Structure 1
Amino acid sequence: MNAELIRVRGLVQGVGFRPTVWRLARTHALVGEVLNDGEGVLIHAQPAAGNDASALDDFCRALRAECPPLARIDAIERSVLEAPLTTDTFVIRASSASQVHTGIVPDAATCAACAAEIRDPSNRRYRYPFTNCTHCGPRLSIVKGIPYDRARTSMAVFPMCPSCGAEYADPADRRFHAQPNACAVCGPSVWLVDSQGARRDPAALEASDPIAAASQLLAAGRILAIKGIGGFHLACDATNAASVAELRRRKRRFGKPFALMARDLDVIRAYCTLDAEEAGLLQRPAAPILLLDVSPKTQATPLAPDIAPGQRALGFMLPYSPLHHLLLQAWDRPLVMTSGNLSEEPQCIDNADAADRLGTLADATLLHDREIVNRVDDSVIRRMAGAPRLLRRARGYAPAPIRLPPGFEQNPPILALGGELKNTFCLLSDGQAMLSQHLGDLEDARTARELEVTLDLYLELFQHRPEWIAVDLHPDYRSTLIGRERAAHDDLPLLSIQHHHAHLASTLADNGWAMDAGPVLGIILDGLGFGPDGTLWGGELLLGDYLDCERVGHLKPVPMPGGTKAILEPWRNLFAQLEAADGWATMRDRHPTLESLQRLGDRPLDVLRKMMARGVNAPLTSSAGRLFDAVAAALGVGGDPITYEGQAAIELEALAAQAMDPGLEGYRLKATRQASGMVLDPASLWEQLFADLEQGVSKARIAARFHSGLSQALGDLAIALAEARAVQRVALSGGVFQNRILLESVQRQLSAAGLETLLQRQVPSNDGGLSLGQACIAAARASRASE
């Protein structure tokens, strides 16, 4: 009777995979063993005496069909063993340490079985906030090493009681080798402290436990810091206007929308439209924040007006840990659940750090003693162009590896450091890419330090020894500096990757585009990225693949007076655009009664004009993001100054959504051929826009006409370039394509012309997906160098 070695690769550790193997082996009358090692799951099996040899085939088919809910099988590899097995049973063996080629499963939301237990007064885990099993609970947030065993997690300091130990050791139990398994007898505990750090007795609040006490404080209008799975949140009653306003003041977050957490789908439906697909996304193990359209009619308690200023969408999530389920049990309205930090700082994960940084922000803090090893922010999704699109890839998604398309199987190990904003890094090897969770903006020193700490942890966890390092072309990005230092220290080749080429390559990898499949056309729109010509790019049409790209079109470059100040003060971009068109003075003289032009005249325009004329602190940029800022400034939309990245463009989209019409005529933009390619000039839109303003056309309709015109111009230009270059596919990427109106409008036009569009789903189109593109470009160039 032939025995086989069966190797299972993918996300197969810490998800109940070995018990599934054990159960199916017994079902199919096999003998042998199963264990975890650095490459995944290893099985030695043969049919029991008297059983048919086809049992192994049936077993492998059943493995795929009955894969545990959190597992992902990438490959089942089978080989015949030379000698038969000498056992008459099938057993689960202890993990084997070897070189790591497997992934860590992301943190997963509480499963239905565990949620039922914490609500059941007869269950020993009733109201226990750390209940979990192999189908749910923390993973990345607590892991310190691979193979994923309890000794390599922050649960190692909590020895299991006999009852938990029996569950852990029983292959038939759903808690078999659930590494965070615990109960109130042996596991982590939770307690409540006031703003001075003194413990509060729940009984003094007439509450049964600290979580019930915290819920009562929230209902009384207090602001609480809450330690969760991957970090701290700041929470308050979302319907209490005074509490929400006070939270904004304390957190110094004056415009950016707050995320909301609701007890169940019915609460969400009271505020937002919610279809079956969106309900399914919310209920997935990843439990992301999902952006949903506000319902036009609701009988529910109104939300505080400061929840999402200037928006027509709300970011909702469901409870994803037992603690959250218990906290919201009595709530028929949402809680604000925003990151526990001051604006732009990384989220707190440590009790002492929270006491230091959140003590003045929160009236009380709900703490626990399970260490958070890795900070993991909430993931954010928006459904656009018929599919969910990640805007932030973190809890529930990272660090699940992304399988790369053909051509990347034999590449040397690559490390890519990403960009300056929305930073992630990427480890590429063995035909897959391992993206870190969202780390944040490296302009903050704490976040920059966290990048290095998290990077060292990942390199150790996955035993990744890079042979090439890829960074952004911008010489002063913190991620570039870190990559340069590491390349010099380890004597490794350093590749500087152009920002928008990386966006294009990220989209190709996300869509399974093979390394040798040839070039596609890319429309890459974002805030800015360093161009090889020394200007700041951001409104680009590129023809390229993983190896190279050519700039075949772009928005007309205009100065950015004041440099980074122009990002914070959109009126500067409006002035630059008007000067590049007919001139601000000409436009003012044509429309002397317009308030927006009058306001602009009160600014120090002569200083800006001199800066632009001399090229002093006024770099040229083709940025689509700055064009959106200019239009928003003309309409008086967005902050002055803005209070968060992309505010003007986001509020402009929300305004346009009120008046979008399929037959709406957009503002015309002209394309001309120049030495740098086809140049799309927005100059002509300004007279059309100001004429509409002067005639009393609503700002919503003006915003909609801008969106429609830009989409039409981009689509027309892409169609012409695709025909001229004989390509059939167009990739859309960059942070501006998080704008649903723009994305769907351009996609519809391209599809109507018979072109296939490649859109991102597994990673964000913003800079959060940049490191994937950098890694793939570096891999392709490394392959070419080895030929």
Structure 2
Amino acid sequence: MTVAAREAKEEATRLRLRLRGAVQGVGFRPFAYGLAARFALGGFVRNDAQGVTVEVEGAQTEGFVAALQRELPPLARLDGVEIETLAPRGERRFVIETTAQGVARTRIPADSATCEKCLDDLFDPSSRFHLYPFVNCTHCGPRYTLTQRLPYDRAQTSMARFPMCADCARDYADPTNRRFHAEPIACPNCGPRLSHEPAEIVAALRVGKIVALKGIGGFHLLCDARNAEAVARLRARKNREAKPFAIMVANEASVSLFARPRAEERALLRAPAHPIVLVESRKILPVSVAPDMSRIGVMLAYAPVHHLLFHAAGGRRDAPQDFVLVATSANPGGAPLIIDNDEAREKLAAIADLIVTHDRDIVTRADDSVMQMVDGAPAFLRRARGFVPEPIDLGEDGPSVLACGGHLKATLTLTREREAFVCQHVGDLSDAETFRFYRESAAHLLRLLDVKPDAYACDLHPDYLSTRFAEESGAPVLRVQHHAAHVAAIGAEHGVAGALFGAALDGHGLGQNECGKPGGNWGGEALRLDARGGFFRAGHVAPLALPGGDRAAREPLRMGVAAFAALGRLDEAAGFFASRPEAAELARIFSVRPAPFTTSLGRLFDAASALLGFSRRQDFEGQAAMRLEALVETPRALAGGFVLRETEVDFAPLLAHFIDTRPDPREGAELLHGTLIEGLGAWLAALAQPGEKIALGGGCMMNRILTEGLAGMLRENGFTPLLARKIPPNDGGLSLGQAVLARAKLKQE
């Protein structure tokens, strides 16, 4: 052996890296292969049951480790790295090994928007992917929505019916190619096809037609967002009177034509998921796109077919383009998003003038995710495409639980070892087809993760279909109080295990009495959780009457009359609401038949909205509160607008002020938000331990102004507010909290 060879051998080290996280199906193995070549290392990389294992040997292993963690592929994420030093073997060659057994314990990456390199291919006349609507690589494209089961390879996806041509097979097998093991790889010679040319679709949109377009997670309904008549027709045909529509624009340069995005909102728009992001509107588009809203939901084109539409409309790839589309989920009548071609032709024929399909099946439907910036960081309003099925790390292994969520904005959560997998947004289970989708989602999660739950978790409410689903499972069922689950969900995503103080501020949830039995309408709760999965009700918002039960959530007038009752001024209600003759009848009924009570902050918003002039029936959940939020420029507190008494905060003085002074809606909205921030902040500070963490959950935390103001006030008083970041604060995150509390209870058995 030469002296040089002996020195090289002596300098060589061998390391084994065990990597957990989003490291499969994201181009990690060719990435490691390229790094090993750069640092002249031998060894191997392979997928295994826990993630990826890499062994490297040579003189520059430290450089490899640093670069690996610094230069991850776009869709990769490391949740954990374990490094072990081994004895050198003299290996000089680095190889990609076949996948180890047990890979079904790993995960599927989320769908991702088309990457820049694939866009280069899409618009390059010399590329075989030129203008091909299904171009993708390991850095982008569909994953979750086309996968039937694990392991994640082509045979387990809806691409199995498309045999690869020689060119695609060569790219797929080449470790130096970014399409190495890109399971959805296809080209015009071997892949799926679109039913209509982009130019034909754009021509229909330009003359005001409504188009149903099959995308990645389901069908969109599209129309020209600048055409008020087309938008009105879409609203009429879809039976969606006022709920805001989102818009899709060609690129980031186009966003500023219609909105005023801040820097952090721009960054969120161009994130790999390309979610819908709420951004301040320029009020350029017809009012009917987002009635009474100060912000508009914007998303960038994210699938190749979207880019082809904007290209066909005459725009350059990176230049601002005023061709803008309303892009809303194709789910008529509140039913789930349509994904099947035949179903689209049957159910969308009365809505769309043109139905555009393709022949790649969508296995799992996924709506567009909806996000906003809150308190300096992204927050979900709806979590679906682009983020599901990325798990939430629970910090330690535990029993497997399938948590069934609530009734509105339903989701399910399945835990496996230390991870919680929250499914995509399902919707309102009152709709029979949505409940079928809910069942499909549960079956898909169980099949995909290969888990048999030790127990099911559900809400206390006996009439929720999610509760009945759990009861019909045949497995042990653990019932979890609604608001405790909200607080637990926030704690779980922040890695807080065991005891936690928090507030759950929402519209409705079945309470629990001192004996642990279900009872009462809660919704403005301060709770203290314990490490055993139990909780203590530390305080609540002062109760208001709930005339008509669930009807009060749809008809703010009822809560307006309830405000008069709470103030002992019921005889004034009919005169105050003189234009609404039914107010007199409601007041009469109050006087002879007391209504149940609620501590709901959501219903307090409804009462205030009625007193400020928004008393009509709500077209969608939270409409009145959203209108008030949209009016606020600067929240300001009313002096003496609330009262603290023991464990209760009472906003009756604020409601009395609205009755006595009849402020204009903007002034009232600003007083409402400012007083709630000050009152809730003082209430929580009085109930919390000095300096502790305070979780803030529930549907009212979707209100950006309230959330930022309350978090800021708590911070000023020495507390650490915990906000929803990885799941929505509303009932979309409920199943995660149920799973966490159920696991804690199971560990005690």
Alignment TM-score, normalising by the size of structure 1: 0.88
What are the residue-to-residue correspondences of 1:728-767 with 2, within 5 Å? 728-767=692-731
SS in 2 for 1:154: coil
SS in 2 for 1:95: coil
For residues 538-563 of structure 1, what are the alpha-carbon distances to aligned partners after superposition, in whole Å with 9 as ceiling and x for unaligned? 01111224532211211222332222
Measured after TM superposition, the shift of residue 432 of structure 1 is 1.8
Q: Provide the C-alpha distance between the structure 2 equivalents of 1:731 and 1:339, rounded to a whole number of angstroms.
A: 32
SS in 1 for 2:159: helix
Structure 1 contact 536–621 (Cα < 8 Å) conserved: yes
- Work out whether 1:24 is the aligned partner of 2:35: yes
Measured after TM superposition, the shift of residue 667 of structure 1 is 6.3
SS in 2 for 1:704: helix
Aligned to 2:680: 714
Q: Provide the C-alpha distance between the structure 2 equivalents of 1:577 and 1:14, rounded to a whole number of angstroms.
A: 56
Structure 1 contact 559–612 (Cα < 8 Å) conserved: no
* Pairing partner for 1:506 from 478, 489, 505: 489
Structure 2 contact 211–352 (Cα < 8 Å) conserved: yes
Change (3 A) 1:266 1:637: farther
- Work out whether 1:272 is the aligned partner of 2:230: no
* Pairing partner for 2:305 from 301, 313, 323: 323
- Work out whether 1:556 is the aligned partner of 2:542: yes
SS in 2 for 1:343: helix
Instruction: Note the residue ranges of structure 2 that are not aligned, 5 or more in a row.
Output: 1-11, 314-320, 514-518
Structure 1's consecutive aligned runs of 4 or more residues displaced over 4 angstroms after TM superposition are 1-5, 78-82, 84-88, 600-603
* Pairing partner for 2:166 from 153, 158, 162: 162
* Pairing partner for 1:604 from 582, 585, 592: 585
For residues 391-444 of structure 1, what are the alpha-carbon distances to aligned partners after superposition, in whole Å with 9 as ceiling and x for unaligned? 111111111111224xxx131212211111111111223222111111111111
Structure 1 contact 666–705 (Cα < 8 Å) conserved: no
- Work out whether 1:458 is the aligned partner of 2:438: no
Measured after TM superposition, the shift of residue 608 of structure 1 is 3.3
* Pairing partner for 1:669 from 642, 646, 671: 642
Aligned to 2:317: none
* Pairing partner for 1:113 from 117, 131, 145: 117
For residues 311-337 of structure 1, what are the alpha-carbon distances to aligned partners after superposition, in whole Å with 9 as ceiling and x for unaligned? 111000000010011112225232000
Structure 2 contact 168–186 (Cα < 8 Å) conserved: yes
Aligned to 1:427: 414
* Pairing partner for 2:291 from 304, 309, 312: 309
Cα RMSD, aligned residues only? 2.1
Aligned to 1:224: 211
Measured after TM superposition, the shift of residue 643 of structure 1 is 1.1
Q: Provide the C-alpha distance between the structure 2 equivalents of 1:780 and 1:602, rounded to a whole number of angstroms.
A: 47
Q: Provide the C-alpha distance between the structure 1 equivalents of 2:601 and 2:199, rounded to a whole number of angstroms.
A: 49
Instruction: Note the residue ranges of structure 1 that are not aligned, 5 or more in a row.
Output: 193-209, 297-301
What are the residue-to-residue correspondences of 1:458-497 with 2, within 5 Å? 458-486=445-473, 489=474, 492-497=475-480
Aligned to 2:380: 390
SS in 2 for 1:391: strand
Aligned to 1:14: 25
Q: Provide the C-alpha distance between the structure 2 equivalents of 1:470 and 1:289, rounded to a whole number of angstroms.
A: 31
Structure 2 contact 244–291 (Cα < 8 Å) conserved: yes
Measured after TM superposition, the shift of residue 610 of structure 1 is 6.1
Q: Provide the C-alpha distance between the structure 1 equivalents of 2:225 and 2:738, rounded to a whole number of angstroms.
A: 40
Aligned to 2:401: 414
For residues 67-100 of structure 1, what are the alpha-carbon distances to aligned partners after superposition, in whole Å with 9 as ceiling and x for unaligned? 2110112223345679x76976322233334163
SS in 2 for 1:141: helix
SS in 2 for 1:714: helix
Change (3 A) 1:629 1:172: same
What amino acid maps onto 2:377 in structure 1?
A
- Work out whether 1:570 is the aligned partner of 2:556: yes
Q: Provide the C-alpha distance between the structure 2 equivalents of 1:381 and 1:624, rounded to a whole number of angstroms.
A: 22
Aligned to 2:601: 624
Q: Provide the C-alpha distance between the structure 1 equivalents of 2:346 and 2:101, rounded to a whole number of angstroms.
A: 39
Structure 2 contact 690–718 (Cα < 8 Å) conserved: no
What are the residue-to-residue correspondences of 1:7-86 with 2, within 5 Å? 7-43=18-54, 45-47=55-57, 51-52=58-59, 55-79=60-84
Structure 1 contact 666–710 (Cα < 8 Å) conserved: no
What amino acid maps onto 2:597 in structure 1?
L
What amino acid maps onto 2:723 in structure 1?
L
- Work out whether 1:362 is the aligned partner of 2:352: yes
SS in 1 for 2:334: coil
- Percent identity, aligned pairs only, is 43
Q: Provide the C-alpha distance between the structure 1 equivalents of 2:307 and 2:397, rounded to a whole number of angstroms.
A: 45
SS in 2 for 1:671: strand
SS in 2 for 1:176: coil
Change (3 A) 1:3 1:750: closer
Bigger drift between 178-187 and 60-69 goes to: 60-69
Alignment TM-score, normalising by the size of structure 2: 0.93
Structure 2 contact 697–724 (Cα < 8 Å) conserved: yes
What amino acid maps onto 1:599 in structure 2?
R
SS in 2 for 1:33: strand
Aligned residue pairs, count: 724
Aligned to 2:8: none
SS in 2 for 1:328: helix
For residues 461-516 of structure 1, what are the alpha-carbon distances to aligned partners after superposition, in whole Å with 9 as ceiling and x for unaligned? 11122112211111111111111211xx2xx4321110100111111112221x24
Aligned to 2:511: 531
- Work out whether 1:778 is the aligned partner of 2:742: yes
Measured after TM superposition, the shift of residue 137 of structure 1 is 0.3
What are the residue-to-residue correspondences of 1:345-356 with 2, within 5 Å? 345-356=335-346
Change (3 A) 1:146 1:4: farther
Change (3 A) 1:99 1:475: farther
Change (3 A) 1:601 1:357: closer
Change (3 A) 1:716 1:602: closer
Q: Provide the C-alpha distance between the structure 2 equivalents of 1:485 and 1:118, rounded to a whole number of angstroms.
A: 49
Aligned to 1:126: 130
Change (3 A) 1:627 1:611: farther
Q: Provide the C-alpha distance between the structure 2 equivalents of 1:526 and 1:104, rounded to a whole number of angstroms.
A: 33
Bigger drift between 68-77 and 180-189 goes to: 68-77
